[in-house]
Amino acid sequence: MPNTSVTLSTLRLDNPVIPASGTFGFGYEFAEFYDLNILGSISLKGTTKEPRYGNPLPRIAECTDGLINSVGLQNPGVHAVIDEELPKLEAVFHKPAIANISGFSIEDYAYCAELFDADPRIGLLEINVSCPNVHNGGMSFGTQPESAAAVTKAVKAVTKKPVFLKLTPNVTDIASVAKACADAGADGISLINTLLGMRIDLKRRAPVIANKMGGFSGRAILPVALRMVWQVYEAVDIPIIGMGGVASAEDVIEMMLAGATAVQVGAENLVNPWACPQIIEALPAAMEKYGIENLKDIIGGAH
Ligand code: SIN
């Protein structure tokens, strides 16, 4: 039987497949489709200090092989996530989950991180410095090495759990941002978040999305994600969670050969709610086809 287990810092996963934040709610919503315990872990909906209602509608534009979203970090706030959402997840998922944290100030990030640090249901913190859909926060921290490092340091100071910085692809030099996070003490890097894009409604002669622009994700972005995972793997010595357009077991293997230790599946969950279990079930046969006995042996294997 091929070995699919991988380790993200101190968090061991039975397999590398994780539903990506923002495409899987707080996890329990998908329990009606399948037993969630087949998953490596779950990256929870992006959480902020205060509740957020998100951006005005419409927030979604469909594209060839993908979609644009401008959700705007809708979530009930960190206290409600811990008190109301995590108990529902705990009832159906018995592995450590990944908390995904967004903020509008460095203090916001640290505030949420400290609360999740104290929660045994959380095994890893994914710090989103890459949301393209809100002003004065999110992506602005992830576009400069200095501000990404400052968030990293503030979060590391309040938690003993592994801290992974989720980076934006909307930069010219992803390696320098990843390196700044690693030098500031990050335990890992998650990438890529969505690519800034837009669609125009021909009849209205106006942007489809109320917020005009949004983040493009889906199968079409896999080559961009692979390129950036490759570049970050060359720049840092900490584990990478690769994501962007992953839709098959072969995509998981490709992402790991580029340098990922684990892989998140995002937009594909919205097309096919069984995407993750289908990928996990297909992994052993794909590994056998490509002569892989132990999945972790191939991490960065294409370099
Ligand atoms: C959103 O809620 O706008 C998406 C989150 C993200 O892209 O980081």
Q: Give the separation between CA 181 and CA 114, rounded to whole angstroms.
A: 19
pTM: 0.98
- Rounded average pLDDT over 10-37: 98
Task: Please give the pLDDT value at position 133.
Answer: 84
Q: Which band of pLDDT confidence, cut at 50, 70 and 90, is reported for residue 175?
A: very high
Confirm whether 131 is a catalytic residue: yes
**Mean pLDDT rounded to a whole number for the chain:** 97
Top pLDDT among 298 and 140 is at 298
Query: Which amino acid is it at 127?
Result: I
The alpha carbon of 294 and the centre of ligand 1 are apart by a number of angstroms equal to 34
Q: Give the separation between CA 170 and CA 84, rounded to whole angstroms.
A: 34
Question: Is the distance from CB of 142 to CB of 148 less than 8 angstroms?
Answer: yes
DSSP state of 6: E
Determine which one of 63, 112, 131, 276 is catalytic. 131
Ligand 1 pocket list (CB less than 6 A):
22, 46, 69-73, 128, 130-133, 193-194, 215
- Rounded average pLDDT over 194-209: 98
Task: Please give the pLDDT value at position 136.
Answer: 67
Q: Which band of pLDDT confidence, cut at 50, 70 and 90, is reported for residue 137?
A: low
The alpha carbon of 293 and the centre of ligand 1 are apart by a number of angstroms equal to 36
Give the CATH architecture of domain 6-54+73-195+218-298: Alpha-Beta Barrel (3.20)
Written as one string, the DSSP assignment of 138-186 is THHHHSSHHHHHHHHHHHHTT-SS-EEEEPPS-SS-HHHHHHHHHHTT-
Judged against a pLDDT cut of 80, whether residue 173 lies above it is answered with yes
The alpha carbon of 274 and the centre of ligand 1 are apart by a number of angstroms equal to 22
Judged against a pLDDT cut of 70, whether residue 152 lies above it is answered with yes
Q: Give the separation between CA 179 and CA 142, rounded to whole angstroms.
A: 12
Ligand 1 atom closest to Cα of residue 193: 7
Judged against a pLDDT cut of 90, whether residue 216 lies above it is answered with yes
Instruction: Give per-residue burial for 3-15: e unless 16+ CB within 10 Å, then b.
Output: ebebebbebebbb
Query: Which amino acid is it at 63?
Result: C
Of all protein residues, whose CA lies closest to atom 5 belonging to ligand 1?
131
